[in-house]
Structure 1
Amino acid sequence: MDYTSKTRSLQSLVKDMNKGTINLSHKLQRPEGQWNRKQKSDLIDSLLRHYPINPTYAIVEEDGTLSVIDGVQRLSTIRDYIENIFALSKDMNGIIINGEEKNLSGLKFDKLDEDVKSEILNAELQIYRMTDCTETDIRELFRRQNAGKPLSNKLLRVVHESDEFSEVVYSLANHPFMDKLMSPTQRKNGTDRDIIIQAMMLISSNQEQEFTSFRTKDIDTYVTDYADQYLGRADTLKEAMDRFDESFDEIKIPVTSIPQILYSGYRIIKDKKSFTKLVDKVADFCINYDSNSEYKQFVQNGTGSKENVRGRFEYWRAIVKTLQ
């Protein structure tokens, strides 16, 4: 691996983000929107006070695009502030700019005076541009950069995945149907990725090997040792998600049941059964969920345990078997 380092003005960085020559959606990175208003305001405040800001790390892709693997929250915050997406925190202290104290409390970018706007636009960030790096290099750099940060097991799980499996999980986690299933918080904490991995685990289960424990260590074992064997089944899962998305304008499914329902869609597509009948079953399940005592015994304590996951799995397998 090789790298170069240079500083870039915020104005030029925002321009490149909008042009798409800086990509903020690398498969190893957390999605945008992780920070609250206070954290975002602290970044703008730090830039204006000339506090050191952590460097951004990006991979130079073959087409010249910079794909950010560390710094997405910083860059997206800068872009969003300059484009008036949010206002600064109301508890910000005054800042001296060109010998004059400025009060930025609660202000969007377009409400700043010209001196402050210029100070922000001309502020610079350091960018490390990595070239000639292997997938192993990228994952190891990611691991080391995040070793001391409070990333959840869900978000750190990507370091165990092959590049091919990461691509599959990233693509399916960003499927339009997932927008109907996931809350913003679940998107932030990596639940969307785990849902796809869990669905793939159920799809991969057979008489010889069942992947019906969603404990952290068992998910990690599947990702590390088995996932690549079943990559060919992802296209059918995507087709099922396409059909679900077409069938429901909106839907609310308990998160503990989403992998099993995605599995059911996969089986219906694979077995060439009636998807419309499955949609009716899913709709009925959602409507009557609170009174479904047979099912709810498997969503009490320890929802990730083998016993409870398998109970939910068998419930939906039985439904699939009855459909024609």
Structure 2
Amino acid sequence: MFEKLKHSPIGKTTIANINNCIETGLIDFTPDYQRFGRLWDKSKKQLFIDSIINSYDVPKFYFHYLSSYAYDLNNSNCLLAIIDGKQRLEAINDFINNRFSLASDFVYIGNSNIVLNNKYFRDIYCCYPEIMNKFLDYILDVVFIDTDEKFRIEELFLRLNEGIPLNNAERRNAIGGELVHWINFFISTDPFFTEKISFKNKRLEHFDLLTKLILLQCQGIASFSKRNLNTLIKSNKDYISPLIEMCLSKLQRNVSLMNRCFEDNDLLLRSKSMVPLYYLFFFFRENVSREDIQSQIEFLREFDRLRKENVAIKDPNLINKEFVEFDRLTQQGAHQKTSLEKRLKMLNAYYELFRTDNFNILSECGIIRKNSLEDV
């Protein structure tokens, strides 16, 4: 069910009514789909309040009306959940609660002789109650959505905020269920995702990465196809199977090992497509220790440096073609099983050279030669 209600379930949609809902806890500001909220600075809040006091139109507010149809989505026991307009609601509530004043250059269009710049709500209400009463009676354009389909709310939220549809990770997150809950809890609390990884999580990149690591832990080298990842999430929606529980336990131990070896905001972890490969490189072997991973990370830093040097080489006779192929596989089809297999094979081969000092010899001579693995 998905219905746009024409009439407000809370009566008039004035600022006073909406703010009363905020103060009495009837509005959920942090539903699952409210994850891209950007906090406004004071100047943005002041400009928005300026628009209302001076009777300019402001954008619509979208609320999820948590009726009986949406009980499964109501984790807060609130009447409403904000879909779009969170920062504007916060600005209204903050102004009424005297958390910021009007801007220093504020001009009241209704009467330029009335000076309101730098004044707080309480000051204006004391001296000019009619102006603040008009502010409180300002009619907001509000849309209420009544639905029990989380996917539709997710879709609406992103379309309103980004103008683009959901990506695959966001669609999997919208499926919900036990494994999704486990993934979201892990990425929000584990240092690997909160401290070590150096790429942003604007559109569930961390969720996507952990889903792929779980797939690798459970199946070994596998394709990150839409079908494989969706099946993993959907088959563990109602409950997490014992097999997956065991895989998650192993994954937690492995990630804990990596946490002790990687630096904060580690440059090796700047690319989402590389992390699954590193995970296989570390743990696709028996009896892995912290010392093993530290040695492998030392190798990866040197390997990463030499690949960058290889890109800068102009003479085609000096270019390491294996590095070129490694980079191509990383950029094209990195989600495919064959790409993971080929890159992992290259890493393992060069790591053996690294362990026997041949890698260092090649590095000193210029590992950026053709067929360097065959030369040793």
TM range (shorter): 0.5 to 0.7
When structure 1 is superposed on structure 2, of 244-253 and 77-86 the one drifting more is 77-86
- SS at 2:180's partner residue? helix
> 2: CA distance between counterparts of 1:203 and 1:258?
13
Do structure 1's residue 139 and structure 2's residue 151 form an aligned pair? yes
Cα offsets for 1:34-80 (capped at 9, x unmatched)? 98999877755655535242223275745626794723753686499
User: Is contact 1:30–1:155 with CA below 8 Å preserved after alignment?
Assistant: no
Which residue of the other structure, out of 342, 349, 352, is the alignment partner of 1:311?
342
Structure 1 or 2: more strand by fraction: 1
Structure 2 counterpart of 1:290: 305
1:57 paired residue number: 64
Aligned residues: 295
Displacement of 1:141: 3.5
Match status 1:212 vs 2:223: yes
2:210 aligned with 1:180: no
Q: Which consecutive residues of structure 2, in runs of 5 or more, have no partner in the other structure?
A: 126-131, 237-242, 308-319, 356-376
- For the structure 1 residues 75 and 247, does the alpha-carbon distance in structure 2 shift closer, same or farther, using more than 3 Å as the test? farther
Residue identity (%): 12
Q: Work out which of the residue numbers 28, 31, 34 in structure 1 matches 2:36.
A: 31
Q: Does 1:13 align with 2:25?
A: no
Task: Give the aligned partner of residue 299 of structure 1.
Answer: 327
CA RMSD, 1 decimal: 5.1
- The C-alpha deviation readout for 1:229-261, integer Å capped at 9, x for no partner, is 674223332333233334445222231211223
Q: CA distance change for structure 1 residues 290 and 275 in 2, over 3 Å: closer, same or farther?
A: same
- Specify the alignment match of 1:201 in structure 2: 215
Contact 1:298 1:312 in 2 (8 A): yes
8 A contact 1:57–1:70 mirrored in 2: yes
Distance 2:304 2:101 in 1: 41
Using the TM superposition, give the Cα deviation of residue 199 of structure 1 relative to its aligned residue in structure 2, in angstroms. Answer: 1.9
Relative to structure 1, the CA distance from residue 187 to residue 204 in structure 2 (aligned partners, 3 Å threshold; closer, same or farther) is same
State the AA in 2 paired with 1:31. Answer: F
Deviations 1:198-247, CA, capped at 9 Å, x for gaps: 222322334xxx5334xxxx2x2223224436742233323332333344
Unaligned ranges ≥5, structure 1: 105-110
1:247–1:279 contact (8 Å) kept in structure 2? yes
Is this contact kept in 2: 1:195–1:259, CA < 8 A? yes
Cα separation, partners in 2 of 1:188 and 1:146, compared to 1, 3 Å: closer
- Within the alignment, does 1:274 sit opposite 2:289 as a pair? yes
Q: Where do 1:24-103 residues align within 5 Å?
A: 24=30, 26=32, 28-33=33-38, 47-48=52-53, 49-57=56-64, 61=74, 64=77, 68=81, 70-71=83-84, 74=87, 78=91, 96=108, 99-100=111-112
- Look up the match of 1:258: 275
1:223 aligns with one of 215, 224, 229: 229
| 1:71-122 Cα distance to aligned partner (Å, 9 max, x none) | 37536864997699999999xx966366449999xxxxxx841249876995
